[in-house]
Every structure is written in C-alpha cells, then in structure tokens.
A and B are shown apart, each in its own frame.
Chain A
C-alpha cells in the first residue's frame, strides 16, 4: 500500500483553493477571446473584454477572479492501493480549505445551518465527493463554485417519451429563466440518466471537462452542439445585455437509467468555472 500523508493533502488543497480562484483556466480565456470575435452586440463585446481584463488582473495581482469564491467542492479519486496516513482524510481536506481561504484572502461564504445562517468564518465544511479507483494515487480536484449560478440550476424527471426534444427544451427553458442572474456567458453542465441524485452529480462533473472538448460519443457531441445553438438563439448575451454569446459551452454526461425514468439535471456555471487538479 502506498502511503499518502494527510498533511500533504491539506497543504495541496489549500494551494489549490487559491490557484483556482486567482487563475482563470486557459481554455476559458481562449473561448472568451473567440467569442469576442463572434459577438455582434457592442455592449456584449465590452463585457467580454472586461472579463478578459479581469482575468489578467486577478492572475497578476493574485486576487480572486470573482468575489464569490464559492463553496469549496472537492472531488477525491483515491486509488484502492493507497492509504492515507497521519490523519483523517475529511479533516485534512477541510483543514486545507480553511487555510486556503484564510491565507489566500478568499471570501468565507458558508453558513453553518441553512436556516439559522451563521457564517462559519472558514468556508468549511467543503462538499466532498469520494471515488475509489484502481491504482495507488490520489487525484484531487478542487472546484469552488459560486452561489449565483448554482441558484439558477434545475433538475427534472422527464418521461422517457419526451426524449431528446424534452431534454433540449428543459435546458433552454432553464437558461431562459436564469436570464442575466448567473453572469452569462455560461458554461452549462447537463447530466442525463442515472437516478435523481446521479443526474445532478453528472451535471456537476460535466463542468470539469475542458471547453472545446466535445463528448466522446458523437451522438452526445451533436446534442451538445444543438443545445448550445438554441441557448445562444435566446439573445440573452453577455451579462444579459443582449447578444449572441449566452453560453460558451454545453457539456453533457450520461449514465444508464431505469426503464421508467429520464432524469435531466442542468448545472449552470458562469465563465468563472474554477477547477484545479493535482495527483498525489
């Protein structure tokens, strides 16, 4: 069994929280640059320019891309031949989040109880997803996600007969309802199949895929294109000021489902789609 130290995990998570919040991934800046050429609305282009300038400033000054530095979402893929030593895995992740948010001057946005609403002042607890995979490594993905775009997400249990058209309509309707709230241009994660919670998980995971990388299955790659086109026909545009670039990308992930079910989850993300990966 390969040993992975809890202290190392905490240190890495702390660094990753900062890195994710300061540096907009290259695939997103490239996509914004491309959209700048495509956008016909002048005020829309102005928004895209501001977002590109913003990313430059954030990186150079080491301040967050967006003030909503998010709920710390952490995906752990732990190899079945690895063992965590020197502490509790969950505690290590939360310790890392706390340190990262404190020392990186990130905003603490978590309240301890959903109704009493007192801030924990540490941005913990994180939301952690565990997966046991072959191998002896630990893959950590830190993906802080803002509340504004999360609030615009939706899930629906469609009837199997509604099929592809039902899925497209539901995504377009969700984006239309969201309007300007989630800071378009958007990145849209769509989870199809599984059951209630699996579809939501797939939609979230879909957001981690690099932009401009279509689904490996041609059929679903086409579906992504079709949805993107219809979403961009809505006219919402950058920041909702009107324009052709409402979304930068649509990513679909699928899973087998029950004969009676067709769950569809739509996880809306803004351009500040933050995620950093490390393998220990």
Chain B
C-alpha cells in the first residue's frame, strides 16, 4: 500500500481527498493534548476567552509522552485512547481544528461533526511509542505546564506514520476492516 506524503497544516483540498484506510506520512506541526488539557481548552472556549494555542487549521495529537531522556527531544510518544476526548471534540472542531491523531473509535457525534466541519480522524499505532518518538524532531511545552505529561506541547514531526480512520464522507476504517476480515462468528 502506498503512503501519501502530507505537509502540515492540512489544506482543505487535501482533507477532501483523504479516504479512510489511506496511509499517510505527516511532516510539520502537531499540538499534543489529553483529557485534562481538553477540559481546560473547552472551559476557556465556554467562557468566551482566548485559547492559549491557535487551533484553527491545526492537528491535535492525543499523547502524554514519557520524559525526554538526556540527549533526546522527547521520550516514548504513542497515541492514547481517543474516545475519552469525544465529549470535548465538537467544541474544538467548531474552533477550527482540522485533524486529530489517536487510537480507537470515535462516538457517532464526533463522526457526524467531522463531516460537518470537514475534518479528519487519524490513528497512529498504539504501543509503538518508541518508534514514533523518532519521528518527532522538536518538542516544546506551550501551555498548561502544570499538567506534566498532559501539558500541551508543540511538536515538529517528520514522516510521522498515520492511517486515516474517519474521512469527511462518513467512512470508518475500524468498521470496514472488521467487516472485511470477520469469520463465521456465532455471537457477533
């Protein structure tokens, strides 16, 4: 399967051309955020205040890396389970977020919102944090430093491997992949 090379930020035409199941290599800027950072971001939006990072057009990576060992920019840095972010996601899509990287399926609400706001959900390989860390060329905490591993970091990545799970047309790789490979199941 061929891989598409994508330079971030994502352009609208690019987003419309992405299809679930496609393999991509991303280069450019990603912002990290997990549950605690999402809660703060959404609370800020609800209060009508300005966000500490400009999310318009950006991609968020759901990751809480391990501390960087001496001489490295970051430690192990694989994706965390995305469904914990579902309750916050629509607010961020409204604020202009264009992509998310995590692992595991999203709620119907999020999938509908991806179609509406023309954004995509991508997955990196969970449990490949050491490999993925090598694709990160710089990392800097840019907000909520007190959250430790959950602080928002600005990452610069090079050839970061992901797979498109949900495109803007409503397809879902998890459903399709499973349907393609399931065998005579007695209790589906």
What is A's interface to B at a CB cutoff of 8 Å? 40-43, 46-47, 50-51, 53-55, 57-58, 61-69, 105-109, 117, 119, 121, 148, 151, 169, 172-173, 176, 179-181, 183, 230, 233-237, 239-244, 270-272
Which residue of chain A has the shortest Cβ distance to B69 in the bound complex? A105
The 7 closest A-B pairs by CB, nearest first: A242-B177, A235-B182, A183-B126, A235-B181, A181-B104, A58-B130, A64-B76
Contact B66–A67 (Cβ < 8 Å): yes
Name the one of A54, A63, A68, A233 contacting B182, with C-beta atoms under 8 angstroms: A233
Contact B130–A234 (Cβ < 8 Å): no
How many residue pairs at the A-B interface have CB separations less than 8 Å?
180
Binary contact readout B107-133 vs A (1 if CB under 8 angstroms, 0 otherwise) = 000000000000000010111111101
Among B4-12, B78-86, B93-101, B152-160, the stretch in contact with A: B78-86
Contact B131–A50 (Cβ < 8 Å): yes
Contact A50–B72 (Cβ < 8 Å): no
Question: Chain B, interface size: which category?
Answer: 35 or more
Name the one of B36, B69, B105, B185 contacting A63, with C-beta atoms under 8 angstroms: B69
Binary contact readout B140-162 vs A (1 if CB under 8 angstroms, 0 otherwise) = 00000000110000000000010
Which residue of chain A has the shortest Cβ distance to B68 in the bound complex? A105
Asked if B75 CB lies within 8 Å of chain A CBs, one says yes
**Chain B neighbourhood of A42, CB < 8 A:** 1
Which residue of chain A has the shortest Cβ distance to B83 in the bound complex? A181
Contact A57–B131 (Cβ < 8 Å): yes
Interface centre among B64, B126, B176 (most CB of A within 10 A): B126
Name the one of B68, B105, B129 contacting A65, with C-beta atoms under 8 angstroms: B129
Contact A107–B174 (Cβ < 8 Å): no
What is B's interface to A at a CB cutoff of 8 Å? 1, 21, 23, 36, 63-69, 72, 75-78, 80-81, 83, 103-105, 123, 125-131, 133-134, 148-149, 161, 163, 173-174, 176-188
* A50-B125, A63-B133, A148-B81 known; A235-B183 Cβ under 8 A: yes
Q: How many Å from the CB of A77 to the closest CB on chain B?
A: 29
**Chain B neighbourhood of A55, CB < 8 A:** 130
**Chain A neighbourhood of B1, CB < 8 A:** 42-43, 46
Contact A270–B130 (Cβ < 8 Å): no
Contact B128–A50 (Cβ < 8 Å): yes
- A-B contacts, 21 listed (Cβ < 8 Å): A41-B177, A46-B1, A50-B125, A50-B128, A54-B128, A57-B130, A64-B129, A66-B127, A66-B128, A67-B75, A68-B78, A106-B67, A108-B148, A109-B149, A151-B81, A176-B188, A180-B103, A180-B123, A235-B183, A244-B181, A270-B126
Contact A119–B66 (Cβ < 8 Å): no
Contact B178–A242 (Cβ < 8 Å): yes
Q: How many Å from the CB of A224 to the closest CB on chain B?
A: 17
Q: How many Å from the CB of A247 to the closest CB on chain B?
A: 14
The CA of A107 and the CA of B161, in the complex, are separated in Å by 23
Contact A65–B163 (Cβ < 8 Å): no
Q: How many Å from the CB of B85 to the closest CB on chain A?
A: 13
